[in-house]
Amino acid sequence: MTRTKEVVLVSTQLPMGMEHHPDILEMREQYERVAATPRAQGVEALAMLAGLFLAVAPWVVGFTGLSALTINNLVLGLAYTVLMAGFGSAYERTHARAWAATAIGIWTIIAPWATVGNEAIRRTILTNVITGGLMTCLALAAIGATLALTRPTLSRGKRAASSK
């Protein structure tokens, strides 16, 4: 008869990474709650649609002859869509993405003049200005949503400090 010996190793060390810090876990829960709100989901959906529209606008509106603007709209429309599509999966990293998306929206507004100059026609200008303005507003709404998360925490901390 053979005897088997079972060894169980038990660790008494706590996880040392920052990802296990209680404040970070609480912030992640807050971000998940905000990402699940209809407002955040609406901003994400509209932003993705705006980015996709910018990407296909040269063919829909009919200004493919302006190749620099066509390429600009295609590339930046897809980039904007990718940046703004991260809300649901990575809301805590959305703040930096939303600032980049804001820059894309602003560039979209001025792109007809910057890329093709005097050759820009009314429909290219209207398409880019309206779409770029909408994209900028949606990106700023995303920034506002992330800033709103920190505002209640800061106000609670200030009240607690002033009551001492």
Among 59-68, 104-113, 148-157, the range with the most confident prediction by mean pLDDT is: 104-113
Is the four-CA dihedral 112, 117, 119, 121 of positive or negative sign?
positive
The set of long-range contacts for 13-21, using a CB threshold of 8 Å and a minimum separation of 24, is none
If we measure between CA atoms, which residue out of 9, 154, 125 comes closest to residue 57? 125
- Show the tokens assigned to 143: 């920034």
Percent of the chain with pLDDT over 70: 64
Better-scored residue on pLDDT, 152 or 139: 139
Q: What is the pLDDT of residue 154?
A: 46
Instruction: Encode pLDDT of 27-60 as tens digits.
Output: 666 666 666 678 878 888 899 999 999 999 999 9
Q: H or E segment at 98? A: helix 94-116
Give the pLDDT of residue 34: 61
Q: For the chain, give the percent of residues with pLDDT over 90.
A: 36
* Residue 45 CB partners (closer than 8 Å, separation 6+): none
pLDDT band at 155 (very low <50, low <70, confident <90, very high): very low
DSSP state of 60: I
